[in-house]
Structures are given as structure tokens and as C-alpha cells.
Amino acid sequence: MNTPGKPDFSATLTGPCPVVLFAFNRPDHLARTLASLRANDLAGGTDLIVYSDGPRSPEETAAVDAVRTLVRATQGFKSVTLVERKTNQGLARNIIEGVTDVCERAGRVIVLEDDMVTSPHFLRFMNDALAMYETDERVASIHGYVYPVKTPLPETFFLRGADCWGWATWRRAWRLFNPDGTALYKTLVNSKQEADFNFGHNYDYMGMLKEQIMGRNNSWAIRWYASAYLQGKLTLYPGRSLVHNIGNDNSGTHCDDTTAFDVQVSQTPIMLAPIAVEDNAQARASFAAFMGENTRIPAKRRAKTWLQHTKLRLSERNRQRKTLSRLDKLQAQGQLRLEGPYPNWQDCAQRSSGYDQTNILKQVTESVLKVKTGQAVFERDGVLFDHIEYAWPVLAGLLLVAAQNQQTLRVLDFGGSLGSGYFQNRKFLQNLRDLQWGVVEQAEFVRQGQNLIAEGSLRFFDTVAQCEADMHPNVALLSSVLQYLDDPFAMLAQLELTSVRTLIIDRTPFSDALQDQFFVQHVPASIYPASYPIRVFSRRLFDLKLAERWIELESFDSVDNIPCSVNAKWEGRIYVRK
């Protein structure tokens, strides 16, 4: 039976534990996973909740729809609940939110992904083990998969930490999960536990955690392992694998194309009996030996790939440095210049050549896609940089809003291009409980963003009103945008009609003049040939105008200042609503 909405878990306190299954765009894998799970003798009494992530692009819509059609037709369980994500959340956010929700409501959960074929005895083992160790604070989770090691393993055994291929946990243990990879990494280093965490340097889990911190992967599993490990918690494993991961075919997230981890799932039940609740040295040595041997199996292939990627990165970095070097020279020569002043905005518009939006959009899209996919580090105005220039006061303001709103940050990024600000700051924001970043832009940018750039937390809107209706933002970010509007205060008035309570302005030119001044800004052809009107705000008038509706919390100098022929400074402000 297929049940809409959220099931009633009141009966699961004594009955079988609910299973939460995470799926994306692989209907064939999911069909095999569901068929094997349905063959378990406890399936008929088990609530199944499937979290279906949304497509990353229009090309994935058909596959996602096929997954959802398959789930709706699924039978053989006590209930089947389909949770359909409207946008792509990404595996980490989908799992963290789903596991948290079910744990909080049911007290325990069994977790699978759409590429995990299970033994007919999987549910029995997981449920019995959950019951046996429910009140044992030393145990954080139960696991279903074991590596195909060469030496025999005990019928059941414990290892320190937690794992991710077919597992179960309780509310009490999942509350130990720490999404802050930086804090986990520092604690491991400071306590000098890196070698043991890496199974005696046989697998680079520390490197995986560091990559997560740097935003090169978004692994929830490495943070779950580290969270349980640092708390000294244990996971119970079966001596024979009850799970086979069929996703090691390069079709999934964080999985390579390899047969090294293939197993035959056990066709006999695992005998569950009381054992010493401690890290099993024999099993740990077997795991370490397997990791040491099999992480070298694809070594030539990985080395070749690494070398190719390194060459690409070095080539891209050299190109970026040349670009930056040219930009620095142009700035030093005063070629990023403001021409004027002129009497008014309209006069500047008549003197401006405008810009080729098609070419600019193409350049920005290519650059942002490289940042999104990890091929480049940072982008601004279509120019790639080899390091991120953080606007620390802006980031501090965003984190302040999140702290004031129970780890909820909903940003209305007006004029935010294709999400440059989101990608610039996501490393520091991705672990928030609720992160939503809405870019309000010109129609062509919005369509491009929706089709190619949008992901779980990042969306694109044509108007402030659309963003307000969909997200209810609590902060507005205006970075290098107000000076390019012919009526900036009308736009600020729009924000007063929204749920925004904090206003962050950055990279905006101010002067000590008594009135606003109007210029024509010329952009170097090395970036893109263009000229357009720009307003240099009178600092006195701007502050007086904003003071009518907003309280200034802080002002600061922007991280970058554009050299020009007028006495202006690029500054920022943080305001809160009166």
C-alpha cells in the first residue's frame, strides 16, 4: 500500500523498525534494492519511507520521475511513503534531514540508499540488534555490510566509529552527529588520533574529511564516522555481509567504478548473541589489510586521473594568474576608470555603450560551472581566481542571522549573478540546519541558473516577490548592485515589504560629497568590453535615508576597492530592521 504524507510510527516502538531509503535518478538500481528488501520476512510489517531527491537539471527529470513512479507502485510493506523533493538537495542534506526526521519521530531507523541489495536476513538482524543494544550507550549503530576480507571474521563484532552501507541507529546516538567537519578534523589532529582513524594509514579518511571541509565533497558519512569515533562509540557488524553495494559502477555519488567491494550477501541468518562490547582487534586488522590492498587496486587508474586533473588545475591556475596579473596592471594604470561626473543618471546612460549580455552570460556561466564542479576555486564577474577572497564582514553578518534564527539562513541575493556569493561562502554555511539562497536576477540569468546552476540550497527568481513567496528570506544581500540601479531606493523599499529583517550591503561606492554623483564606468576588454552608468553615493545622504527604516549595526571597508579618478571608497553596511 502507498501512503501519502508521514506514517504513524506509534506501533514501531514494539514492531519492526521503519526503513528510510534515499533515492535519486537510478530506477534500475532502486528496483533491485526494493526487490531484495521485499524478500525479507519482516518486510510486511515494516514502514518504508523513500526520500526522492529532485533533479539537478531538466535532463534528469525523466529519471527522477521514473524513480517516483516505481515507488508509488511498490507493495509488500506495511506502508510506503514517498517524500518528493521539489529541488535537488544533494545526498548529504537529504540523508541528514531524513534520518533526523525519522529518528526524532520513531526513536530508531534503518537506513538504505537506492543501490544496496540486501540479504533476506537483513531486516531480522538489524531489528534484533537494535533491540539488544537499544539502551547500551556504548553502541552508536548497527551495520549490514562487511568487506570481503581474506581472514574469517567472528559471527558478530564491534569496531569503533560508524559506517554507511546499510545501517541503523537510535535517536540517542544520531544526536551525537556533528555536521561541523572542521571541528571534527581539529579534534582528531589535536588528540593525535589520525593514524588510528585511518586504520593505520591504510585508508585516507582524514583526507576525505579535509576534502569535505574544503567543499570538494559533501560527505555526510565521513562526518558520521568521525562523530561516533571521537565519542568512543562502537558499531556492531555481522561476520558475513548482509548488503551488496551495486552502485560501484560510477553511477552514484562518491563511488568509483570498481569490483573490489563486491560481496555475496549471506543466505543464512546471523546468530546474534552477547559479545564483549569493545573494538575487535582481529576484525580491525582484517579491515586494515583489506583497505591497504584494495585502495591500491585501482592505483594506476587513480594516479593517471590525478595526474590529468593536476595538469588541468595547473593550466587553469596559470591562466587565472595571468588574468589576475593583467587585471592588477590595469588597475595600477587607472584603466578601471570612472568617467565624469555627469549631471544625472540619464546623461550617463546616453554616454554608455552598454554590454553584450549574451557573451557576458556565456562567460559567467562557464566560470560558475567550473566553481560548482570543483574545477576552479572562485569566480567573480566571470573571472576565475586561484583563491577565495572572503568578505569576512559579510560572512559574519550571514552567520549572525543564522545564529539568531536557530541555524536558519534564508538569503535574498539581489543581483547575485549565477550564485557567486553562494559558492564563495558555502563552505562556512553548508552545515546550517536550514540554508536557502535565492538569487534575484535578470530573466536570462534566472533561466540559465535554473537550468544549469541550481542545487539543493541555491535557487533563482525573477522578482523579489517570487523569492519572498517561496523562501520567506530573513536577510537580503546587495553586493555591488545598488550603484547600478537608476532608482536604488525604490528597490530598498521593496525589501521593506518582505520578511527580511537584516540588510547586508557590500562593494558599494561612497564619497564625502553632499550629493550623489553619476559616472560612466568602463570595464577593461580583458574582462568584457562594456561601459554603463554608476552612482557614487553621498555617504551622508545614504546614511540619512537608510536611517528612516533601518538601524546600522556595522560599517566596513570592502575587501576590494576599484581605483578611479574620483575620491570614492567601496564600503559595506549591515542593518537591522527598526
Sign, CA torsion 227/229/233/237: positive
Q: Quick check: is 82 in a domain? A: yes
279 and 361 share one domain: no
Strand residue runs (E) in 98-151 = 108-113, 116-118, 139-143
Q: What angle do CA 434, 220, 297 make, to 5 degrees?
A: 155
283 and 410 share one domain: no
What's residue 137's pLDDT?
97
Report the number of distinct structural domains present in the chain. Answer: 2
DSSP 392-426: HHHHHHHHHHHHHTTTEEEEEEET-TTTHHHHHHH
Of the residues 256, 276, 297, the one at which a domain ends: 297
Return all residues near 504 (Cβ < 8 A) that are at least 6 apart: 394, 397, 398, 475, 476, 477, 478, 479, 572, 573, 574, 575
Q: Quick check: is 217 in a domain? A: no
Name the helix (H) or strand (E) containing 569. Answer: strand 569-577
State the SS3 of 351-363.
HCCEECHHHHHHH
Q: Quick check: is 249 in a domain? A: yes
Distance CA 133, CA 139 (A): 7
What's the burial of 553, exposed, middle or buried (CB within 10 Å: 0-12/13-18/19+)?
Answer: middle
Q: For residue 462, how many C-alpha atoms fall within 13 Å in the half-sphere facing its CB? A: 3
Distance CA 479, CA 558 (A): 10
288 and 372 share one domain: no
Q: Quick check: is 186 in a domain? A: no
486 and 399 share one domain: yes
N-to-C CA span, the chain: 53
143 and 283 share one domain: yes
Of the residues 273, 297, 321, the one at which a domain ends: 297
Q: Quick check: is 360 in a domain? A: yes
Classify strands 502-511 and 475-479 as parallel, antiparallel or unpaired.
Answer: parallel
State the SS3 of 72-111.
HCCCCCCEEEEEECCCCCCHHHHHHHHHHHHHHHHCEEEE
365 and 507 share one domain: yes
What's residue 366's pLDDT?
84
Closest C-alpha to 415, from 494, 339, 343, 531: 494
Q: What angle do CA 51, 261, 245 make, to 5 degrees?
A: 20
Sign, CA torsion 355/359/360/361: positive
254 and 340 share one domain: no
Are the CB atoms for 548 and 573 separated by under 8 Å? no
Q: Quick check: is 183 in a domain? A: no
Quote the domain boundaries for residue 87. Answer: 10-176+231-297
Question: Which strands, in side-by-side order, build the sheet including 156-160?
Answer: 79-84, 47-52, 19-23, 108-113, 167-170, 139-143, 234-238, 156-160
Return all residues near 521 (Cβ < 8 A) that are at least 6 apart: 337, 338, 339, 531, 532, 533, 534
What's the burial of 38, exposed, middle or buried (CB within 10 Å: 0-12/13-18/19+)?
Answer: middle
Q: Quick check: is 450 in a domain? A: yes
Of the residues 257, 276, 297, the one at which a domain ends: 297
Find the CATH number of the domain harbouring 341: 3.40.50.150
Closest C-alpha to 225, from 184, 255, 265: 184
328 and 402 share one domain: yes
For residue 173, give the amino acid letter. Answer: A
Q: Quick check: is 114 in a domain? A: yes
320 and 288 share one domain: no
Return all residues near 35 (Cβ < 8 A) that are at least 6 apart: none
Find the CATH number of the domain harbouring 71: 3.90.550.10
Distance CA 142, CA 151 (A): 21
286 and 370 share one domain: no
377 and 501 share one domain: yes
What's residue 139's pLDDT?
98
Distance CA 355, CA 98 (A): 46
**What would the grid cell of residue 184 be?**
571534527
What's residue 250's pLDDT?
58
Are the CB atoms for 30 and 114 separated by under 8 Å? yes
Measured CA distances, 411 to 192, 457, 465, 466 (Å): 39, 10, 14, 13
pLDDT in tens, the chain (578 residues): 454 455 666 555 568 999 999 999 999 999 999 999 999 999 999 999 999 999 999 999 999 999 999 999 999 999 999 999 999 998 899 999 999 999 999 999 999 999 999 999 999 999 999 999 999 999 999 999 999 999 999 999 999 999 999 999 999 999 999 999 989 999 998 999 998 999 987 888 998 998 888 788 889 999 999 999 999 999 999 999 999 999 876 555 544 557 889 999 999 999 999 999 999 999 999 999 898 887 643 433 333 333 333 333 334 344 443 333 333 433 434 445 788 889 999 999 998 877 656 777 888 888 888 877 777 777 777 777 767 888 999 999 999 999 999 999 999 999 998 989 999 998 899 889 999 999 999 998 999 889 888 888 999 999 999 999 999 999 999 999 999 999 999 999 999 999 999 999 999 999 999 999 999 988 766 666 678 899 999 999 999 999 999 999 999 998 766 555 567 889 999 999 98
352 and 327 share one domain: yes
For residue 575, give the amino acid letter. Answer: Y
**What would the grid cell of residue 482 be?**
545598488
Distance CA 46, CA 77 (A): 6
Enter the DSSP assignment of 266.
Answer: P
